[in-house]
Structure formats: structure tokens, C-alpha cells
Amino acid sequence: MVLWELITHAAPFQGMHPLQIVRAIDQGKLPEIPSNCPSPNYARLIEDCWDKDPDARPSFDAILQRLKDIEKEMNLT
């Protein structure tokens, strides 16, 4: 969710009551990844982190490596 916030410069579920947010997430409703996402690999990372199966989500080490790879791909280093 943090990466989504950094990309969109917005708060997810803005204007919703916390219980509404919990219900929405339980129903599989997540914020839309913007079409202007700087890299398809950012979008893929966000989606992988949102996997319903916690065991399928990347570890923090894997997230860090993927972010480094995206940084290289985008020549941000």
C-alpha cells in the first residue's frame, strides 16, 4: 500500500470509515493501480504484495531487490 501511495500521492480508501475499509479489503476491493504508473514492474510489485495468500507475497528482502532492479531499469541510480 505504501508503494501505491508513493506513486499516486493519495491516501487509499480516502473518505471511508475504517470499518468500510476492512469490509472492502475483505471483499477483494483494492485501489486501482494508476495507468500512469512509472513502470509496469512497480504495478506488478504492488499486485504481488496485495496477494490474498500471505505466503505468496514477497519478503522484504525480495521487495528491496525488486525495487533496486526497477531503479536500475529506470536508470535512477
Residue spans per domain, the chain: 2-73
- DSSP-H helix ranges across 2-59: 2-8, 18-26, 40-49
Full pLDDT tens readout for the chain, 77 residues: 999 999 999 999 999 999 999 999 999 999 999 999 999 999 999 999 999 999 999 999 999 999 999 999 988 65
- State residue 75's pLDDT score: 83
pTM score of the predicted model:
0.85
Dist CA 48 CA 63 (whole Å):
10
Q: Does domain 2-73 have CATH number 1.20.1250.20?
A: no
| Residues whose CB falls within 8 Å of the CB of residue 8, separated by 6 or more in sequence, listed in order | 31, 34
Q: Are 1 and 12 in contact (CB under 8 A)?
A: yes
- State residue 5's pLDDT score: 95
